Every structure is written in structure tokens, then in C-alpha cells.
Amino acid sequence: MKKSTLLFTLIAIFVSSGLFISNAYAQKPLPAKTTKQGLEFTIYPNTKNTDPSRPKQGDIVTFSVEVRNFKDSILQKNQNVDAYKLQKYAKVSTPNGKNDSIQDKFFEIFASLGKGDSAVVKEPTNNLLKEQEEFINKKINEMQAQMANIINDKTIPDSSRTQYIAYLQDNIKKMDLEKNKPNPMLPKDKHIFYYFKMKSFADEVSFNKDAERRKSELEKQKKELQMVQIKKEETEITQYLTKNNLLKNAKKTPSGLYYIITQEGKGEQATAGKEVAVNYKGELLNGKVFDTSIETEAKKANLNQGGRTYEPIKFNLGAGMVIKGWDEGIALLKKGGKATLIIPSPLAYGERGAGGDIPANSVLRFDVELVEIK
């Protein structure tokens, strides 16, 4: 969750992008108000919302925001700022042991917005320039304190100390120049405008529960789409197995992975958590070899893998270090075992593919040998 009090200030100063918020402010506005920080704001209520509740201290809010300068140029645009925690006043302990206060300058505005309400906020550029100066001063003070520690630390070699002090001094000088440098996007004595639209708000516990629910739903949808794709590719796989006289010995796992054991291993069984070493050759179903750990196979396929050391690949089985089809397929083998794995795209590189060699939604064939288990 985003908790920085400089969230919008620094975005507005340093980011340039955007679109236009269309007609979010067509409603009749409420009377304008001014916050304690000098921000003038006008609320445009959502007339369709009958819920009187408003965000409170500690709530998580989501909203859209557009930032424009005095020339009406867009500085920043977000359709959805997610997980912004409202905090009116808090004490935080700094590394030097002092307590600093945090004041969220938008708290009063957000606390006045219901779901679907919009607000236009006018802020003097002098406020932003002051915040920018305070931020830079804070960084300069941190570097000066760091420099003092280095000077007093006798364990650091003189050459290293001199070099690092020079580096810090150079950065302090640059930041001093930056602090005093005029900002053409934020000239003095002008204004900047924020266009907010409240989307939702909830207490932190409810927000986290809802986020977990949404995550679970997305995972479920993703798995359903993967199963549809796997079923779609099954015809392609069975045709390939039939054409290459592999169907008779092929077995299928519940996930959709096809495998043919071509040599039974005589060592221990590969299990999740073990480090395994595997030799392999990978190819598309059209026969194009895209990768291998075996030099003779690379030469045979005219692969240009300059500078590569040809040796078994090592990884921790079941740790997600390789594609799902490998984690599942290698776990079917014993040490010394060999197999052909026919891997549907959702268990490989899916709709994103991999570089220029593996197109999106590609079924892959891997001939693998489990060389070692540790």
C-alpha cells in the first residue's frame, strides 16, 4: 500500500503522461472549501449514490487522479490508484531516534468523498516547491550524516574514504543545484490542479479480505482458461504422437502433460525440494530445435549459442524455477531416467511465448535425462 505523504507531490513534479478525465464533473458542485494546508477543493457529488458513509482514518481508498498545471498541461494520470492508506496524523520513528509527524494533505478531501464523488483541488505551486525543497534537504542531511560517519570510521582504508567522501560531496552539490533550479512546470506563485474521482474505500481488514477474494477469483479464471487451452491443444498433441509412433507408450497426467519414459532410471526418485541436474533438448512440434544442453545436438540443429557452456541444467525441483511442465515431468523420473515430455502451452510459456524462438501458445517437446539428484 502506498503510504508516502509525497505520493502526489513527487508524481506531479517528476512524471509526464496522461489522458483527459471526460465528464466526471458534470454534477452540480457543493460550495468550495479550503483545507488547513491551503488546498482549495470543490466536490461534485455522485447523485446516484445514496450511501452516506465516508472514508476515515486508516481506510484504504481507490480512485482515479489527473494532475494538471496552470497551463492546463497534463502532468500525471492514473485511472486507478490502488491501496492508498489515509492517515491524518501519525508519529514515525526515524533512524536518528527522533519522531517526525506525517500529515496527509489530502486526508480532509478524501474524508469528504463518497463512492463515485469527484473533486477538483487547487494547490499553490509554492506548496509543492517547498515540499520539493524539504525533500531534497532531507536527502542532503542524510548524505552529510553518512559522510560524518565515514570520516570517523577508522576501519575504512584512506583511499576508499577519500573516494566515497568525494562521491557524497559531488551528490550534495548536485542536489543543492537542483533545489535552486527553476522548475518550468511549476513556476512560483501559480497553481496546480488535481482531479479526483473516488472509486471505493474500506477498512484495512475488509480491503485485504476483498483483495484475497479477487485474487482467488482471478486465479480460478486463469486456471479455467488454461484448461480450455489445454483441451484445445490435445488434438494437436495426439496427432503429433500418432504421426511419430509415440501414442502407444504415451501417458497423460491430470494436468494435461504427456510423457513417454524412454529409459527407466535405477537411482532415487526425483522429489520436490531436491536439486536436480538435467540434460535436455527442446523443440517445437514442427521439429525446430530452440534449445539444448548437449553440444552435439546444438551442432546438429545449427544452433548459434556462442559462448555457452554445454552441461546439465541445475535447479531446485518444485520451486518454480522452471516451467510447470518440467517441475511435473522431471518428478516422474528416477536418477538416470530418460523421457520425452509433450507440454501444452499453459504448462510452458503460455500466451506470452518466449523470445523469438517460441511463439505464443506453443506446445513443446523436451527430450530429458535426469543426470543427478542432490
Residues known to be catalytic: 280, 290-291, 323, 349, 366
Q: Which residue shows C-alpha cell 537542483?
A: 178
Distance CA 361, CA 10 (A): 41
Q: Which residue shows C-alpha cell 544442453?
A: 293
Grid coordinates standing for 327?
517441475
CB atoms under 10 Å from CB of 137, counted, come to 13
Contact 44, 120 (CB under 8 A): yes
DSSP bridge partners of 282: 291, 366
Contacts of 108 (CB under 8 A, 6+ apart): 35, 36
Distance CA 320, CA 325 (A): 10
Contact 183, 13 (CB under 8 A): yes
127 in helix, strand or coil?
A: helix
Contact 75, 16 (CB under 8 A): yes
Distances (CA, A) of 294 to 81, 300, 327: 49, 10, 20
CA 99-100-105 angle, to 5 degrees, is: 150
Contact 272, 318 (CB under 8 A): yes
